[in-house]
Each structure stands twice: as structure tokens, then as C-alpha cells.
Structure 1
Amino acid sequence: MKKLETIFVTLNSWALILMLTAMALIVGANIALRYTSSHSLSWADEAARYLMIWMTFAGAGLILRIGGHVAITNLQDALPMMGQKILRACLVVGLLIFFGFMVHVGVQYAQRMQFQVTPALRIPFLYVYAAMPVGFGLLIVHLLLIARPFITAGAFKPMNGADSATPMPGGARG
């Protein structure tokens, strides 16, 4: 299971690297063309925007793994250890329900947009709006993979092979 998790995280990371690289190359080429030939690529801004949307949704799960999203820990810090675990378990269940709902809504929205095309690239908006259900699906998988250590110890996965998770305020780990 650990090997599958590593492969999953690696593939997710490489997808983000490829999207960021593509966006940088497109924007860089557009800037170079604009200043060297006084012409620009008509589709560059649109492609960069859609890549940014995909990077946002696809990268949210990786950030969730390390506790990088905004969190208010005042209530958790005020509770005894068992109360903290119960609160974190409720948070995980609530997030799973919300993420699942967003996958459902995202699929419906993407399907409604499948016959409209983008102005410059002329691709169906389905491919743009698919970022939402895909991203929330990735969030579900990432959350399920970190749920046990998060609930039991308040710990998130370490970043870049670090030995231990970053401690959270109040003695919990995160």
C-alpha cells in the first residue's frame, strides 16, 4: 500500500510540474514573441489560465497532505487529547462528505458545459471544468491516505522525506 501511495503522490507531483512547465513556456514564448515580433499568440493567455485552474485543483490534495491549508486550531487546542481525536475524526468525515459533494457538482457542471467551446483554443469547456471533479477526487484520495495519522496524532505527512511531521500548536502534530 505504501508503494502505491508513493506512486500516486509522485504522479500527482509530476502532473503539476508538467502543467507549470507548460504554462511557463507558453507565457514565456508569448512575451518573447510580443517583444521581438510585435505579435503574440492569441491563445496563450487562455491556455495559461486553464493550466492555472488545473494546477490549483490538482495541487490541493498535495497541500492537504502536509497541512498546508488554512486551519484554525483554537477549539482543538482547548480540548483534551480524546476530544482532539474526536474533533479531527469529525473533520475528516465532514471533509469527505464535502469533497464527495463537490465531485458530484463538478461532474454535473462539466457535463453541462461540454458543448460550449473556449474562445481561443476552441476546446470544449468540459476539459476545463473537469478540473473540479478531478481535483476533489484527488483530495478524497489524499485525505483517506493521511486520515489515520491525522486523527490519531494530528500529524500530517512530512514534506520532502523529512523525518517527522511539523508540530501543530497546542502539542498536536501537524
Structure 2
Amino acid sequence: MLAAMAAIIFANVALRYLTDQSIEWAEEVARHLMIWLTFLGAGPVLRYGGHIAVENLQDGLPHAAAVALRGVIALLLLGFFGFMIWYGWLYMLRAQYQTTAATQISFAYVYAAMPVGGVLLVVHWLLIVRDYLRARVFASDAHFDANASASL
């Protein structure tokens, strides 16, 4: 999706400067691709441990309290993902008869990114939540440890 966005925008800019014409649908399609890329990419980034986290409180707590805090965080995240799925679905249904300006497709196709991304977030979260609860372990930790030991 990122490559398609870059190609579309590059072609549009090049055509605009070389021919004084632009692709009418380029910005709209690139925007919709960005929306889908964001929601589809949130799950793998969560699974990898790439989202920004404030961990000072967890680090200052005893192990049992830190595990309990991570349990609360895990439940809050699941609740938020459920909220995304539910309200994304409702929003998609409300907008299904509206069409986009340039491509004339239903906005439901664009807004479907939210519930689909929410479901993928739940799946990715459930795949890592046990390690997160026990020891706050993510795939990025192994990547970081390998780079740290390689530099020594």
C-alpha cells in the first residue's frame, strides 16, 4: 500500500509539472490507502512492540503489582479494540450510501478499515498478551538484544 501511494503521488506530481495536468483521483486514492495502511499496520506494530509506551510506573512497582497493572492495561486495550470494531462497523453502515468525490466508491469501503483493523488488533494482541502480562516481552526486545550484543 505504501508503494502504491508513493507511485500514485509521484506520478501525479510528475504529470502536474510536466504536462500541467494531474490525476483527478490520485490524492483521494492515496488518502484511502493511508487509512487502510494505518489500521492494518497497527496490529503488527502492536505485536512487535513498536507503539510508544510509558513504562515508568510499571518499572517502579513490585513484580506482582506490575503484572496486575499490565492486566488492567490488557483489558483496557481489549475494550478499546472492541470499541473500534463496534463503532467502526456502525460508522461504516451509516456511510455506505455516500460516495467518494473522485472515484465514486462507497465510503463503506474506506471506513471498513476501522473494524477490520480492530479485529486484527485483537488477534495480534491475543497472540502476545500472555508474554506481555508475565514479563512485558515483545518481539522488538529480541531484535534490540541482538543489536546490543552485536555492538559489544
Same fold (TM over 0.5): yes
Shift of 1:67: 1.9
Amino acid in structure 2 at the alignment position of 1:31: V
Shift of 1:165: 5.7
Name which structure has the greater RCO, CA cutoff 8 Å, separation 6+.
2
Shift of 1:66: 2.1
Q: What's the RMSD between the two structures over aligned residues?
A: 1.5
Q: Distance in 1 between matches of 2:13 and 2:22?
A: 7
Is residue 106 from structure 1 mapped to residue 78 from structure 2 by the alignment? no
Is residue 64 from structure 1 mapped to residue 46 from structure 2 by the alignment? yes
Residue 139 of structure 1 aligns to a residue whose secondary structure is helix
Shift of 1:158: 3.4
Q: What TM-score comes out, normalization by structure 1 length?
A: 0.79
**In percent, how many aligned pairs have the same letter?**
52
Whose helix fraction is larger, Structure 1's or Structure 2's? 2
Please say if residues 30 and 41 of structure 1, whose CA atoms lie closer than 8 Å, have aligned partners that are also in contact: yes
Q: Which runs of 5+ in 2 are unaligned?
A: 146-152
Amino acid in structure 2 at the alignment position of 1:119: A
Aligned residues: 145
Residue 158 of structure 1 aligns to a residue whose secondary structure is helix
Q: Distance in 2 between matches of 1:71 and 1:60?
A: 14
Q: Which runs of 5+ in 1 are unaligned?
A: 1-18, 168-174
Q: What TM-score comes out, normalization by structure 2 length?
A: 0.90
Residue 140 of structure 2 aligns to a residue whose secondary structure is coil
Please say if residues 156 and 165 of structure 1, whose CA atoms lie closer than 8 Å, have aligned partners that are also in contact: no
Amino acid in structure 1 at the alignment position of 2:45: I
- Give the direction of change, closer, same or farther, for the CA distance of 1:69–1:138 in structure 2 (3 Å limit): same
2:4 to 5, 17, 22: 22
Q: Distance in 2 between matches of 1:85 and 1:166?
A: 22
Please say if residues 95 and 107 of structure 2, whose CA atoms lie closer than 8 Å, have aligned partners that are also in contact: yes
**Alignment partner, residue 135 of structure 1:** 117
